[in-house]
A and B are shown apart, each in its own frame.
Chain A
Amino acid sequence: MKILIVEDEKPLSDSMVEYLAEEGHLCEAVYNYLDATEKINMYQYDCVVVDINLPDGNGLDLIRLIKKQSITLGIIIISALNSLENRIEGLEIGADHYLTKPFHLAELNAHLKSVNRRISYGGSNQIIFNEIRLIPDEHKAFVHDAEIILTKKEYELLLFFISNKNKVITKAGLAEYLWGDYMDLADSYDFIYTHIKNLRQKMLKKGCEDYIKTIYGLGYKFGLN
């Protein structure tokens, strides 16, 4: 997927480029509004990651400009301003997701994957990882073509794992992805432990390989060794 990252903080932008490049995306970074408009006019992107506060302009205006050129293009807003109006306005003018700084790269990646699914297959595709098959539209999961009944959170968890396969996923990143901001997340780690335990059991029962590795004190890793 070809991604344009519009973020004026270069170190943050670099992090995103590095993480997403490892995932096989083609990333370009610009650091201001003017360069961003130039790039958008010259090249074709699949998705744009926009910061709302740019030194020479407003990210929301940029989104309006982008949407005028291509309706299907995916947009993810990242902003330090977590005001509800901004969030609502951003989503109203066509952004797919809104992330508040500081966010987790894994979270950004998971959202990019869902954008990718939307623009490439109209969201109707399947996600396949070895013997696991997910149907995002119906929130259904299959192992060896046999359906496993997952709760909503377990399904989201599995989707998040597969989106960030072979990456170290921190408990904090998981918690925020599953529960959102503003919750007192202290006990969410226990919650996550419960969810993962249940998910692992259900999958193992269907003869699925144990992909979830616990990294002590840090989080989890999903994938083959």
Chain B
Amino acid sequence: MRLLNKITLNLFAISLFIFMIGMVVFYYVLRQQVDSNINLELKKREISLNKEFDAAHSSINQTVNLNDTIIITPISQPKAAETFSDTLLFNPETSKYALFRQLGFVKTIHNQDYYIQIFKPLEETDRLIIRIIIMMNILIVIIILTLIIANRHSSRQDWKVFYDTIAKVNNYDVNSHEEFMLQHSDIREFEDLNRVLSTMTERIKNDYLNLKEYIENASHEIQTPLAIINSKMELLLQSGDMKEKQYKTVADAYEASNRLSRLNKTLILLAKIENRQFPESKPVNPAIMINHQLESLEDLIYAKKIKVVKQVEEQVTVLMNPYLAEILLVNLIKNALRHNIPGGDLKIELTGNSLVIANSGPALTLDPDMLFKRFHTSSSSPESLGLGLSIVQKICTMYGFKVSYSYQNNMHVMLVVFNKG
């Protein structure tokens, strides 16, 4: 169904329903008002009747009941026929003038024309009209409010799919492994929109996956030629009958191809983490891994005269792939060592829900947000690939951990908050 039709139909159905209810309510309210008006009039009649009875049995002058007043005046000139008009009459009971409706007509009795006036009080009917108007206004306001509320509610139901779609498109991540599923709607425009969006995202995703696959294949295919280049150069270096200058040339080329190999290996690793090709998770004990890493780095720690301050809860376990856990820890610890100053501190704190690795060092001159970007290296170590922290972040993202950098008390602090959900 078209959106416009849907809205119109909804509004029509709601209005019909509300007006029907309104009519019934209105009938009863009106009924009650009229009844009370009539009651009032009957009451008045009762009073005047009582007075009449009293007057009949006493000498008191009969009081005038304006309701029953008939004024008969003989006329000589023929008058116009019946006339209705408003008039004020003095009510001796209340000593006030009151509004009356009068009818005047001519009656001929025994060839004599008489002008006869009869009266009906307007006061009560006026009151009734005002009451009815007030009632009607209240009812109309109530009806309109209900209409608006009901309409909004029903529209919200219709638009829900639309808002859901917007939210999903907003959060769409081409890297995510969740299916892009949109809700079904009975409104044609929304259904069209969802269909277009679904095909579009599917196409984007396919393009993206193709591209990714291409890059991954390329990376894998590069490995073998690189292996050949490296091995040939290694052989060349062993040959021993080269001049120093040639040695240097080969050494530089060898160094470069090694760099390329490492880069390639690291990029493949990043792609694998992104593709979630490390599925099996099990409880790993970071404390043991930290100790192991510190042990294997002890020479360097000693050489740089770095003081290791460790506050590690030995029993903590984290559910993740052991291999990735090791890569994560090694990169963080080595990073903290590399950027440490001689005689500085290396602080490692591990609790049930966070890991802090901090090292001494001068404040960063670059934007901390750039730290986790790929290929971002500080000028002080041009040989670095600039992928270490990128790997750290990828692993953290995969497990829903939060990794952040801060600079406190002359220390670079890396904080990893584990996901305990």
Given A182-B391, A184-B331, A186-B385: A194 in contact with B299 (beta carbons within 8 A): yes
In the complex, A220→B229 CA distance in Å?
20
A64 CB to nearest B CB, Å: 23
B337 CB to nearest A CB, Å: 8
Residue from the list A84, A102, A190 in contact with B223, Cβ < 8 A = A102
Closest residue to A85 on the B side, CB-wise? B277
Residue from the list A80, A172, A195 in contact with B258, Cβ < 8 A = A172
Per-position 1/0 for B255-294, Cβ under 8 A of A: 1011001100110110010000110000000000000000
Q: Is B232 an interface residue (CB 8 A)?
A: yes
In the complex, A84→B327 CA distance in Å?
13
A110 CB to nearest B CB, Å: 13
Contact A186 B383 (CB under 8 A): yes
Given A22-B238, A106-B234, A151-B298: A185 in contact with B262 (beta carbons within 8 A): yes
Q: Contact size class for B?
A: 35 or more
In the complex, A168→B385 CA distance in Å?
25
Cβ < 8 Å to A, chain B residues 106-161: none
Contact B238 A19 (CB under 8 A): yes
In the complex, A31→B196 CA distance in Å?
51
In the complex, A19→B231 CA distance in Å?
9
For residue A124, which residues in chain B have a CB less than 8 angstroms away from its CB?
none
Q: Is B235 an interface residue (CB 8 A)?
A: yes
Contact B266 A182 (CB under 8 A): yes
For residue B229, which residues in chain A have a CB less than 8 angstroms away from its CB?
102
Per-position 1/0 for B220-252, Cβ under 8 A of A: 110110111111101101100000000110011
In the complex, A83→B387 CA distance in Å?
19
Residue from the list A12, A18, A184 in contact with B224, Cβ < 8 A = A12
Q: Is A191 an interface residue (CB 8 A)?
A: yes
Contact B388 A184 (CB under 8 A): yes
Given A15-B235, A154-B299, A168-B238: A9 in contact with B227 (beta carbons within 8 A): yes
Cβ < 8 Å to A, chain B residues 329-345: 330-331, 334-335, 337-338
Closest residue to A99 on the B side, CB-wise? B227
Given A12-B231, A80-B223: A184 in contact with B334 (beta carbons within 8 A): yes
B contact face: mostly helix, strand, loop, or mixed = helix
Contact B237 A170 (CB under 8 A): yes
A3 CB to nearest B CB, Å: 15
Per-position 1/0 for A3-17, Cβ under 8 A of B: 000000101100110
Q: Is B303 an interface residue (CB 8 A)?
A: yes
For residue B17, which residues in chain A have a CB less than 8 angstroms away from its CB?
none
Residue from the list A22, A167, A218 in contact with B251, Cβ < 8 A = A218
Contact A84 B220 (CB under 8 A): no
Contact A187 B265 (CB under 8 A): no
For residue B258, which residues in chain A have a CB less than 8 angstroms away from its CB?
170, 172
For residue B227, which residues in chain A have a CB less than 8 angstroms away from its CB?
9, 12, 78, 80, 101-103
Per-position 1/0 for A77-88, Cβ under 8 A of B: 010111110000
Contact A183 B331 (CB under 8 A): yes
For residue A185, which residues in chain B have a CB less than 8 angstroms away from its CB?
262, 385
Per-position 1/0 for A87-104, Cβ under 8 A of B: 000000000000011111
Contact B234 A170 (CB under 8 A): yes
Q: Is A181 an interface residue (CB 8 A)?
A: yes
In the complex, A153→B185 CA distance in Å?
65
A203 CB to nearest B CB, Å: 15
Given A18-B235, A172-B255, A182-B391: A218 in contact with B265 (beta carbons within 8 A): no
Per-position 1/0 for B376-406, Cβ under 8 A of A: 0000010111111001000000000000000
For residue A194, which residues in chain B have a CB less than 8 angstroms away from its CB?
299-300, 303
Contact B232 A11 (CB under 8 A): yes
In the complex, A184→B388 CA distance in Å?
6
Residue of A103, A184, A191 most packed against chain B (CB within 10 A): A184
Given A80-B224, A182-B269: A15 in contact with B299 (beta carbons within 8 A): no
Q: Is A127 an interface residue (CB 8 A)?
A: no
Q: Is B77 an interface residue (CB 8 A)?
A: no
Q: Is B170 an interface residue (CB 8 A)?
A: no
Q: Is B295 an interface residue (CB 8 A)?
A: yes
Q: Is B254 an interface residue (CB 8 A)?
A: yes
Q: Is A105 an interface residue (CB 8 A)?
A: yes
B335 CB to nearest A CB, Å: 8
Given A151-B299, A152-B295: A218 in contact with B237 (beta carbons within 8 A): yes
> What would 18 more interface pairs be, CB under 8 Å, given A104-B230, A170-B258?
A19-B231, A19-B238, A78-B227, A80-B224, A83-B272, A84-B323, A103-B227, A106-B234, A151-B298, A167-B238, A168-B234, A184-B331, A184-B335, A186-B383, A187-B334, A187-B381, A218-B251, A218-B254
Binding site for A on B (CB under 8 A): 220-221, 223-224, 226-232, 234-235, 237-238, 247-248, 251-252, 254-255, 257-258, 261-262, 265-266, 268-269, 272, 277-278, 295-300, 303, 323, 327, 330-331, 334-335, 337-338, 381, 383-388, 391
Query: Could you name 9 residue pairs across A and B whose Cβ atoms are closer than 8 Å?
Result: A101-B226, A154-B299, A167-B238, A168-B237, A172-B258, A181-B269, A182-B269, A184-B386, A218-B247
